[in-house]
Chain A
Amino acid sequence: MTDRTPAPEGAEALAEQVTQARLATLGMLVAGLAHELNTPLGALNSNHDSLRRALEKLQAILADEVVSPDELEEVRRIVRAVDGILRVNDMAVERMSSLVRDLRNFGRVDRAELDLADLHEGLDSTLAILAHQLTAIEVVREYRPLPRIECRPQQLNQVFMNLLLNARQATPDGGRITIHTGTTGDAIEIRITDTGTGIRPEHLARIFDPGFTTKGNRVGMGLGLLISRQIVERHGGRLLVRSTPGQGATFTVRLPLDPAGGRTGTIPDAEVNS
């Protein structure tokens, strides 16, 4: 192609907004993860110092090559303390490792962009990443068996992330989010239902519009659903919504069992102005 048609200005501005929205979501997630990491880090940091002090105490006792009965009691006390500290360190290291594992799964580090993927894995790693945001919400997983499908898993994870975040933002503490999966005919369905505020009928038609948000600019950019719908449609699927105001909302991701229509490797990269 020699003469590239310049993207219309609207599309460019939109792409810019999409980038901004992604960064905002990312920023929020990173803040949550930093907080999550801080707990084991705080414990490890303190324990490292305690262990050094314990060692110094033991060295002081051993310095004169004589261990009196009093000192022996002190040594026993220190050994008990060290034992407890090491057990906490095990917990802290395990917590940090599992956080890193979740992050790798979500970002699908080291894995192909286009892949035969298990969507439950994607949902689970997205939920793991969101754990910090979901502590006050009951999360119910109603998973039915799903076949693996050829897709761009990282992008679908972004859809799950957007839908789950919206559900969380609409649902007061103590509410419930249900994730139902299953197959119907030749499609896979993933339904995310919340017990939140629901969507006013006059808003239903507009929630996929770029920039439509009821959250105020500090929270929402009004792009999550637009991006999600585009990703799902590029997979040959549909993103549907149903809501009863005051009772909650259900967003359904419907994907063909064979999203690429038999031709693998053709799901385009979802960019607004590709």
Chain B
Amino acid sequence: MSTQNTIMLVDDELMVLTALRGFLELETSYRILSFTSPLAALEALSAEPVDVIVADFMMPELDGISFLRQARATRPMATRILLTGYADKENAIRAINEAGLYYYLEKPWSNEHLQLVIRNGIERSALFTELDMRVSALEHANRELYQIRHRLIQAFL
């Protein structure tokens, strides 16, 4: 299963969004979805899955932490990364625990670091997805076993 990985970028600052996008397009072959509106991003999320979400913290419509929390409800497997200015660091750290974020990056960010975090994030969400599949396969097998057992009991007792 080697489809193209999808990265979602959300920042109300077009400048930041375009810089992130430009870098990832230059250096990777990910499919990039970028949004200046977190609400539009949430809508897009309910239409299709993504592997990694990178969201800015300070956005007027919806702050990055609330956005990522809602994103988790829609796409629990996606890895969530917060991008934050230095001034909101304290809030960000608190929220990492609250909203179960994978990582936070400080602005100005290092492209190399970003790329690494995204790569690990993709791996992480792939592992989760696989784990999820294995678990449901196990559950399925388990159910079948029970049914067989049930039939055996009915047939022989």
Residues of A within 8 A of B (CB): 31, 34-35, 38-43, 45-47, 49-50, 53-54, 57, 78, 81, 84-85, 87-88, 91-92, 95, 135-136
Chain A contact residues, majority secondary structure: helix
Task: Point out which of A42, A87, A135 has the most chain B C-beta atoms below 10 A from its C-beta.
Answer: A42
> With A34-B87, A91-B14, A135-B60 in contact, do A39 and B107 touch (Cβ < 8 Å)?
yes
Check A46–B87 contact: CB distance below 8 A: no
Partner of B19, one of A46, A78, A135: A46
Name B's interface SS: helix
The reply on B23 being an interface residue by CB < 8 A is yes
Chain A residue with minimal CB distance to B111? A49
B87 shortest CB reach to chain A, Å: 5
Number of interface residues of B (CB under 8 A): 24
* Given the contacts A42-B16, A85-B22, A35 and B108 also touching, CB distance less than 8 Å: no
Cα distance, A45 to B27, chains bound together (Å): 16
Given contacts A34-B87, A35-B87, A42-B109, contact A78 B26 (CB under 8 A): yes
**Chain B residues, CB < 8 A from A42:** 16, 19, 107-109
Within 8 A of A (CB), among B75-123: 85-87, 107-112
Known: A38-B86, A46-B109, A53-B27. 5 other contacts (CB 8 A): A40-B15, A46-B111, A50-B111, A84-B21, A85-B19
Contact B26 A88 (CB under 8 A): no
A50 and B108: CB pair below 8 A? no
B130 at the A/B interface (Cβ < 8 Å)?
no
A131 to chain B, nearest CB (A): 13
The reply to whether the CB of B139 lies closer than 8 angstroms to some CB of chain A is no
Docked CA distance A91–B16 (Å): 10
* Contact A88 B87, CB 8 Å, known A41-B108, A50-B26, A53-B27: no
Minimal Cβ-Cβ distance residue in A for B27: A53
Q: Is B144 an interface residue (CB 8 A)?
A: no
Instruction: List residues of chain B with CB within 8 A of the CB of A135.
Output: 60
Q: Which residues of B contact A81 (CB under 8 A)?
A: 22, 25-26
Closest 10 A-B residue pairs measured CB to CB?
Answer: A42-B108, A42-B107, A45-B108, A43-B19, A43-B15, A46-B19, A49-B111, A50-B23, A81-B26, A35-B87
Cβ of B132 under 8 Å from chain A: no
B86 to chain A: which residues have CB within 8 Å? 34-35, 38
Flag whether B43 is at the interface (Cβ < 8 A).
no
Report whether A39 and B15 are in contact in the complex, using a CB–CB cutoff of 8 Å.
yes
Q: Which residue on B lies nearest to A41, using beta carbons? A: B108
Contact residues, B24-69 vs A (CB, 8 A)? 25-27, 58, 60
In whole Å, how far is A73's beta carbon from the nearest beta carbon of chain B?
14
Q: Is B18 an interface residue (CB 8 A)?
A: yes
Beyond A50-B26, A53-B27, A81-B25, whether A88 also contacts B18 by CB under 8 A is yes
The answer on a CB contact under 8 Å between A47 and B22 is: yes
Name the residue among B26, B60, B86, B87 with the largest chain A CB count within 10 angstroms. Answer: B26
Residue of chain B at shortest CB distance from A39: B13
Sampled A-B contacts (11; CB under 8 Å): A31-B87, A35-B86, A39-B13, A39-B15, A45-B109, A46-B22, A47-B23, A88-B15, A92-B15, A95-B15, A136-B60
Q: A31-B87, A34-B87 are in contact. Are A46 and B108 (CB under 8 A)?
A: yes
Interchain CA distance A273-B17 in the complex, whole Å: 51
- Provide the residues of chain A in CB contact with B20, threshold 8 Å: 46
Query: Could you say which of A39, A84, A91, A92 contacts B22, with CB atoms under 8 Å apart?
Result: A84
A137 to chain B, nearest CB (A): 12
Bound complex: CA A95 to CA B58 (Å) = 18
Q: Smallest distance from the beta carbon of B25 to chain A beta carbons, Å?
A: 6
Cα separation A136 to B87 with both chains bound (whole Å): 18
